[in-house]
Structures are given as structure tokens and as C-alpha cells.
Structure 1
Amino acid sequence: MNPLISLLQCLVLIISLFITISVSATLFNIPRLSPNAGAFVQGNYFSHDHPKPLSAFDPVTEFQTFYYNQTLDHFNFRPDSFNTFQQRYLINFKHWGGSNISAPIFAYLGEEEAIDVDLSIIGFLSENADQFQALQIFIEHRYYGQSVPFGSREEAFKNASTIGYFNSAQAMADYAEILIHVKKQLRAEHSPVIVIGASYGGMLASWFRLKYPHVALGALASSAPILYFEDIIPPEKGYYSIVTKDFQEASETCYQTIKKSWSEIDDIASKPEGLSFLSNKFRTCSPLTRSSELKNYLDSLYCEAAQYNSPPSYPVTVVCGGIDGVSSGNDTLSKIFAGVVAYNGNRSCYVNEPRNLSETDVGWSWQVIKYILSPYLN
């Protein structure tokens, strides 16, 4: 069978779930779209260990790192638009059949984190590259990792004039330039390109295929909410409605306990010494100054559990198991805290844990607030 036809059939038939590891961004209480979830160990869902590769390959030795002198602004012709920055991409030549047979190119479009993370945990490309004799390219998203304009992250995020170049349209134009450049350098003009991404990266892959059909023959978008925008999805079908549905399906009593807890937290917080009581109840790392600190923490926990509620771990079931496992005589907040412990393990403290904001925390919050307006309301 023609290898190209076989490749297209593969793309139609395969629905791949990219399994990755990292901590979800919680800045401004905005759920991340990324597929990156934790390697589940009951009581410690989001492991802080370095992610382990899924495939039997060594990304350090099999991938070569390159830098492309990327254009800062692809869409304007002001003098500053022609400034450049170094954009990182990595290539694995191991399985490539070469340009003489027009062997395909699998291009992974980086999302809201450094490409190193994707490289070590996205096994789909490497697991299929041998079969299709494909070249693998991983391209880092601008403003993440080592692909930061203006010389430093501080300068890049300094003001509106520098961070204004941080958007999906510019990122896709970056990817197009690099793919055209690589094909030219390898004399692989006739090698079909399949762009691949997951979640936000999958959105980029699908948009890329539409905007740059002369560059990409096809796109594989895994778990990509490409239609999930406010002018398409009504508010009642928003993100939190799906989280609610997940918990209701796992346990109606668990759902009702969570629903009841929000007003109880506010009621207690409004009383004298109420915040002190909540701080002790939930063993916070520092005293609560407002009830929203606790509510945002629980909100993020439930969202993460629902977003990554995959087998065999089923973290929503774990949370509800903790909540429902407390005897009926206990108060609502004791049950909620039991769910926190079931999910995160028995730690010295929870809520307001000291941590430095990651580049994803800052970058993804900017992208969501400025460009990716998805409905979150119930």
C-alpha cells in the first residue's frame, strides 16, 4: 500500500491520548488546557518528580537541538517587526526514510511549556515514527523555554509592547517558517508534513492545517477544544458544568457535599475567628486572609481531578472516596478535607503552599485572558 495512504488512514483511525506529567497552572484560578497530568499514585496525584519517558527511547541522545533565527512579528512592517529571536526546535533523524522517498515529517507543535517536557513524555511520535519512516520535529512555542524574545523573560514580559507578540497567530507563523526551513535544508520539499498537538497544542495543529494547508498535509489534534469559545459554547455548557457532571457521575452524595461546602466556608469565614478556624481545619501552610483562598484551592483541585480523570487512577473517584468515606456524623468540612487528603496525600500543610510561579503559570494566564476566551461558568 502507498505509504502516504497508509499514513492518512492511520490519522483517521487513531485517537491517541497523550499522557504527560506536570503541575497544572493555578494562577488566577484558570484551568490549563494542556494534557499534562501527573503520574498517579494514590494520595499524591501530581508528582513533582521529573517526567519519565513513555517510549523506549532516549530523547537526550536521539534528538538534535537546533535554533532558528525567528522573525518577531510576521504580520506588520514596522522597523521593530523585523527584530528576531532564537527559537528552539529538536529533530530525531533515527527513523527517517529520507527525502529521496518523500518520507513523512511528524511535527509536534509545542504548547504552554518548555519543549523539554514534551520531548520526554510525548511517546506517540516516537512509537509511530519507525512504521512510517518519519522524521520527528518538536518545535518550542514562543515565550516558553529557550524561545524567548528580547533576550530575557523579564524583558519579554516587561510591558504591552513586548508581550504583545505573544499569541497563537504569531506562534503558528513561527511553526510554518521553521517547517519550510527544515524541508528546504533537507531537500525534502515533497515530504508530507503532519502536525500534531494535544489540547492547546492540538488547537494549534488544527488551526495550522486550515491556515497553512501548503505546509501541512494533515493534523492530529488530541483532546483539543477547538470549538470551545464563548461565542460558540453557551455559559451553561462551560468548563465547570463538565467538572460538575464528572463528580455527579462518580457520586451524587459527594457532589452534594461539595455543593454544600461553598456556602459553609463563606458562613464560617464571616464570623469572628472564622478564618482561623478554617486555617486549622484545612491545615493551611499560612493563615487564611480571605475565604477565596481556600475556595480557589478546592476549585483547582476539583478541576484537575476532573480534567485528568482517566483510567486506571480515576482521581475524581479518589476524591469522592475520601469525602464519602467519612462517617455520616462528621461535618461537611471534615468530609471535604478528607477528600483533599485522599487526593494529595497526608502532608504537613495544604493551601497557600509556598511556590514560585513557573513560566507556564505566567504565560498561560496571559494567553487565556488575552486571547483564549473559553466559557467556564456553570
Structure 2
Amino acid sequence: MRTGVWDWAAAACILTLCFGCLHVIALKSQLFTRLGGLAYSSETPINYETFYFEQKVDHFGFLEDGTFKQRYLVADKHWKQPGGPILFYTGNEGDITWFCNNTGFVWEIAEELGAMLVFAEHRYYGESLPFGQDSYSDSKHLNYLTSEQALADFAVLLQNLKSTLPGAQRSPVIAVGGSYGGMLSAWFRMKYPNIVAGALASSAPIWQFPGMVPCGDFYRIVTQDFAKSGHNCDANIRKSWRAINNVSSTASGLQWLSDEFSLCSPLKNKIDAVGFKNWLQETWVNLAMVDYPYEANFLQPLPRWPIQVVCKYLGFDAAVSDYQLLHGVSQAAKVYYNYTGSSSCLNTSQTATGSLGILGWTYQACTEMVMPMCTDGVQDMFEPEEWNFQAFSDECNAMFGVRPRADWAGIAYGGKDIAAHSNIIFSNGGLDPWSAGGVTHNISGSLVSILIPDGAHHLDLRYSNDHDPPSVREARALELEYFREWIGQAKEAPRTASAP
């Protein structure tokens, strides 16, 4: 890596051309980050105040004494003072207002619990930039982008709020988060049980790390979603990759694909064809994540149960030509990218939501958030691609000048050995591919798993909807029951006597 100015062109080139490990990371980055694009109910107006808290850049060393302003949002309309509970959202890798607007569950239960809502932004995302515009300038400035530093931010912020806000000194805190935010929620309770009374970790893949779960399970679940949503749907997607290879082998075939899929930028060569397949792969994964039972907006509008709609175009029984098959694939893709018919063309870079958000998570994945994924083309509907840690490490080193620590998350957070902890709910949707790395069984009486068979990615955290399946309604009711139990436990706990 060059010294001095960050080489954005080289970084973009690596992300664009790599069909291996960093493609998977970039994909995951976009999947996690774009959760903020989900629409929320306009029937439930929300009001909050925005504040900024002076945080240390480095909580664990003493040489770097710089500070930055961490943004957080507060809604205390229903808070019952003194001692009313605090529901604390552990911010994801994105602008905190996205998650504030989309975590309807806490807004709907705040009045019933008499709770204050606090949404804390994760460092290096949104407006919480430790070094301002230089935060992403090079690896030296990115060095403080870790989950441990973020958790320490949350702990310091909460301690300050409880000590300075009248009536909050005895307020029990429950952490809530979804996806990476859910991982942080669980880890927050594990690392700071003196601050957090309990945690709801929704769709939190805390075991999606080396040696903990099979690397192919994520894509296997994506495939299962398509297999049960339409006849031969997964089988025909599996066949489509070879069809793309065949058709894209000629200049006329590349032009046909560009026209058939209404691409804004025509495919010109084999590298473009590889990028095109990556784009389609991501499309199918996105659909699995947001296969919600009602119309939703995930960067673009989607129908109810969108995979079922997609699979109507992919139900071929007999053998069809490559061109016929890919015509069906193009119609299916347009369900995701052009459901309203308002797009004149499809942009294969449309899924990128901002270079900083994607680069931020890519850096985290290149250091401590090492999440292996692989495909075999048999148990899943994708082209075979092995997980190659060395190649992944080399690409990270070329991009950032750092190498990942594959075992660090297990060491820092306990891996599968977490039975000593308590008061954490792990909720997972049966349709969500991230459940592959989630906790899907009870570990103890207070480390509990809630499964939502008809649920996609953290459906339980979204606003309630008339089309919600009974399983998610039951999950939310059970989560609320646990919240009440934890709040009661915290209030009954005796104060620790002061030392003489």
C-alpha cells in the first residue's frame, strides 16, 4: 500500500475485480449496511432529540488522548421517572437515524414499559467520525475502528447518561440490536453486565466465524428459501450461471445480456461478465434477507413475499435454451430492481450505498470480523467458491496494509463457550441466511433462542404489520415478557455498599 494519501482507485479496483474473498466481504458489507434503507411505518410518527457526546478515540491505551463527538438520539416521551428503564440501541455500521427509523419494535413498546429510547451511533459511521474527514484517509486513522472500542463507547456514554440525567441513576438498561448491531448487543451484555441488565440480539451471527459453523450454511439457507418458494426455482438459478458463461463468451452475447437485463452500462468483456454474476448473486441474497410478508422498501419497493413473485419467472420444467432461461432470470431480477417499473435501466453498481460505509465494514472484516463463506454448487444454487483464508488475508493486506486475525472474535467474545453469561435473547428468522451463524438453541435458562420460522432478517425488530405471521407476533410478546422480567430483577437487586 502506498504511503501518504489513501489510494482510493486501487481500493476500488480490488473490490471491483476480485471474484474471491473480498467480493464476499463487500457483499456482506452492503447487506449489513443497507439494512438502514428499509422503509418504516408512516403511521407511527417518531420524535427524538439529537445529542453529541465527547468520546475518547482510544479507550484502551494512554498515548492517544484525542476525542471525537459521538452522535446519539434520545426519545423520552414515555419515560417514567425516576428509575424508568432505558432501551439502548447498539448502533450498526451505518447512520444511526436509519436504525432509529426502522426499529419499530422499541418505539411500540416504549409507552408500555415507561422506557426511554437511546440510539447510539457506532464510531466511524454516520456523523461519529473520530478524525473527521481524515477518518478513512489511511490505516493509521482506521486503527480505532473495532467492536471493542465501539462497545466501550456505549458503556461510557451510558454511564455518563445515568450519572448526569436526573432520575436515571437506577434505570435498568436493556440493549437492543439487529444484525451486526445485534452482535454488539449480545457482546455488550457479556462484556459490561454491570451496565446492561439484558440484551435482545436479533439476527445476530455471533458464530459466523472460523471454526464455529460451516462456511457454506449461509448460501444453503438462501437456496432453501428459493427452493420452497417456487417449483424448480433454485434449480434454474443454479443452471443460469453456466448459461451466462455460454452467452457471454461472444460479443453479441454480451450485447444480448445487456439489452435483456436493461443494463445502464453494457457488458463488454469477461471481467464485466464476472461482475454481472456477482451482482445477480447478491440480488438473490438480498431477496432472502428481505423476504417479508408485506410490501417493503429496501432501496426500492418490493411486493409481499418477493421470492414467491421472483420464482414465478423461474419455474421451467423442461430443458430450455440459455436465452429462454436468462430471459426468466432477467424478469426475476427486475422484481427486485424495478418492481414499480419506474427505472429505465438497471445499474449493476446500484447496491453500493456509500464508499465510507462499505469501506468501514470491509476494514472491520479485514481485521477482527472474519466471517468465512463458501459455496459448492450442490447444497446451494451458486457457483462453487472455496473459502481461502490466505488469499483473503493477502487481499486485505493489499488494500489496507493489515492482516486479519481469524481467531480474535472467538477469543474476545467466547465463541461458543458463552454459558457463563445471562439475560440474552437470540432471535433468528428461519428465512434469514444470517441465522446460519446465529444462536438457534437455548444455552441456559437465561440465554434463550427464539426462532421465527416465517421471519427474514430481524423481522421482529420492525414495526408490526397486519400481514405479520403469528410466529413473529409471538416472538415479540415473548421478548417483551423477558424485558419485564429483567427490569424487575434489576430493580430488586440491592445497591452495592460503598467502601469506607
TM tier, shorter chain?
0.7 to 0.9
Structure 1 runs not aligned, ≥5 long? 1-24, 40-50
| Equivalence map 1:1-378=2 (5 Å) | 28-30=26-28, 32-33=31-32, 36=35, 51-53=39-41, 56-59=44-47, 63-78=48-63, 81-99=64-82, 102-152=83-133, 155-187=134-166, 188-237=168-217, 239-288=218-267, 289=269, 290-312=272-294, 313-324=304-315, 331-345=324-338, 346=341, 347-353=343-349, 357-378=354-375
Structure 2 counterpart of 1:182, which letter?
L
One-letter code of the match for 1:66?
Answer: F
Of 112-121 and 160-169, more deviation after overlay is shown by: 112-121
Match of 1:36, SS? helix
Q: Is the 8 A contact 1:66 1:89 kept in 2?
A: yes
1:109 deviates by 1.0
User: Structure 2 CA distance, aligned partners of 1:316 and 1:77?
Assistant: 52
Deviations 1:129-185 (A, max 9, x none): 111111111111111111111122xx1001111011111111100000000000000
Q: Aligned letter for 1:291?
A: A
CA distance in 2, matches of 1:326, 1:359: 44
Q: What's the Cα RMSD here?
A: 2.5
8 A Cα contact 1:113 1:359, kept in partner: no
- Supply the AA of the counterpart residue of 2:52: Y
Distance 1:64 1:156, change over 3 A: same
- SS class of match (1:322): coil
Query: What is the identity percentage for the equivalent residue pairs of Structure 1 and Structure 2?
Result: 36
Normalising by structure 1, report the TM-score: 0.81
* C-alpha deviation, 1:254, in angstroms: 1.4
Q: Is the 8 A contact 2:231 2:315 kept in 1?
A: no
1:263 is displaced (CA, Å) by 1.3
Deviation string for 1:93-146 (max 9, x for gaps)? 2111113xx221111111111111122222222211111111111111111111
Q: Which moved more, 1:329-338 or 1:83-92?
A: 329-338
Displacement of 1:53 in angstroms is 4.2
For residues 226 and 281 of structure 1, do their structure 2 counterparts lie closer, same or farther at Cα, with a shift above 3 Å needed?
Answer: same
CA contact (8 A) 1:54 1:122 kept: no
Distance across 1 between alignment mates of 2:93 and 2:195: 23
Larger CA deviation: 357-366 vs 171-180: 357-366
Partner of 2:6: none
TM-score, normalised to structure 2, is 0.62
Give the partner amino acid of 1:350: L
Contact 2:232-2:317 within 8 A present in 1 as well: no
Q: How big is each residue's C-alpha offset from its partner over 1:3-51, in whole Å with a ceiling of 9 and x where there is no partner?
A: xxxxxxxxxxxxxxxxxxxxxx998333523682766xxxxxxxxxxx4
Distance 2:316 2:335 in 1: 10
Contact 2:90 2:119 in 1 (8 A): yes
